[in-house]
Copies of this chain bind each other. A is one copy, B any other.
């Protein structure tokens, strides 16, 4: 059954069974993560066969995933829909990158689905939700609930239907209509199995509705970090993909810097965990990319805490950003994001809304590549990152574009002239 040996409180270090559903660590109310027995993995799979690069989805990291698709017992829980294995686009021609001599690329999580090599609902949330649904099936959980501002709900619905689970998605009524429409249509096509609850104005009210009407009646919350480390394990595949050998090569390696649009931060925790595990396996050394977490000045709890040297965020307020995924005023995983950023020699930086919009429009005009506003926020941060010496000439810099602009229409229509 794969190499998971248990759960561990991220902050407390307290161990728990991974076979019993739980939410936050009862010791300190902080998230838990899954622990893999890497020594056993190294011992049993010394031939390196835990990794199958010919498989074109995130499950090709077989034994290093929290469920090993090469193990028939694990594979029975997994519902592969093509998630992961997303393209790394060459952005060396980006004007700022060219002027500064950066080897810039964009990891594009928002590509339209084409079977494999793209996320089925066009966002990085699919990595997490694919793992969530697989783990829920492993534990016999049949009813999952998530509050969301969009993509996470669309993703959970897709995997829930495919995996035969019931899901309830609570979202604000001003969620962009393509996402809302996907979930509403699924709710109609799968009555009883998929439930859409609209509650607002923010995700906070959506969460309160779930708590009152569902969680107390046996539905399991898979809100960010409420599930026991599952979404981290899914997002981990993003870090593994950034490290894996180029075709024909055998050396695992990391970029010099990762520019990441950070909301709740699951992806930061996932990537960091991936690299720690690769180091434990002896595949990379102790060096890490500088983690450069980008937020909007319209919602910047991490940036404020980072600049003030604090260990955790306090709830931010702000008008909110067109980079919808960054509208996260607080998060139980933020303390860990701050630890990671500092350990990496990185930073949390804020970009102005006007700069996000301008960069988004510019990229749209030049590429029509449907890059999302979160990815655009990262590109808009480049001048600041260069000026502050956080990325330098000759360095390999990866921007993560977490989703497609397509999902946010018509809310961002005016930026797509």
Instruction: Please report A residues at the B interface, Cβ cutoff 8 Å.
Output: 112, 173-182, 184-185, 188-189, 196, 198, 368, 406, 409-410, 413-414
Contact = CB atoms under 8 A, between A and B. Distances in A.
A181 B196 CA distance: 12
Contacts of A406: 409-410, 413
Nearest to A122: B410
For the residues of A in contact with B, the DSSP-based class is helix
Contacts of A173: 185, 188-189
Contacts of A177: 177-182, 184-185
A176 B181 CA distance: 8
30 contacts: A112-B410, A112-B413, A173-B185, A173-B188, A175-B181, A177-B177, A177-B178, A177-B179, A177-B180, A177-B182, A177-B184, A177-B185, A178-B178, A178-B181, A178-B409, A178-B410, A179-B181, A180-B181, A180-B185, A181-B181, A181-B184, A184-B184, A184-B196, A185-B198, A188-B198, A368-B368, A406-B409, A406-B410, A406-B413, A409-B409
Contacts of A188: 173, 198
A178 B410 CA distance: 8
Contacts of A185: 173-175, 177, 180, 198
Contacts of A413: 112, 406
B189 A184 contact: no
Task: Say how many copies of this protein the assembly contains.
Answer: 2
A184 B175 CA distance: 11
Given A180-B185, A181-B184, 16 more contacts: A174-B185, A175-B181, A175-B185, A177-B179, A177-B180, A177-B181, A177-B182, A178-B181, A178-B409, A180-B180, A180-B184, A181-B181, A184-B184, A185-B198, A368-B368, A406-B413
A286 to B, nearest CB: 43
A118 to B, nearest CB: 12
Nearest to A154: B177
Contacts of A181: 175-182, 184
Contacts of A409: 178, 406, 409
A409 B177 CA distance: 10
A414 to B, nearest CB: 7
A198 B196 CA distance: 14
A112 B412 CA distance: 11
Nearest to A196: B184
A147 to B, nearest CB: 15
Contacts of A175: 181, 185
A227 to B, nearest CB: 26
A185 B183 CA distance: 11
Contacts of A176: 181
Contacts of A184: 177, 180-181, 184, 196, 198
A188 B199 CA distance: 9
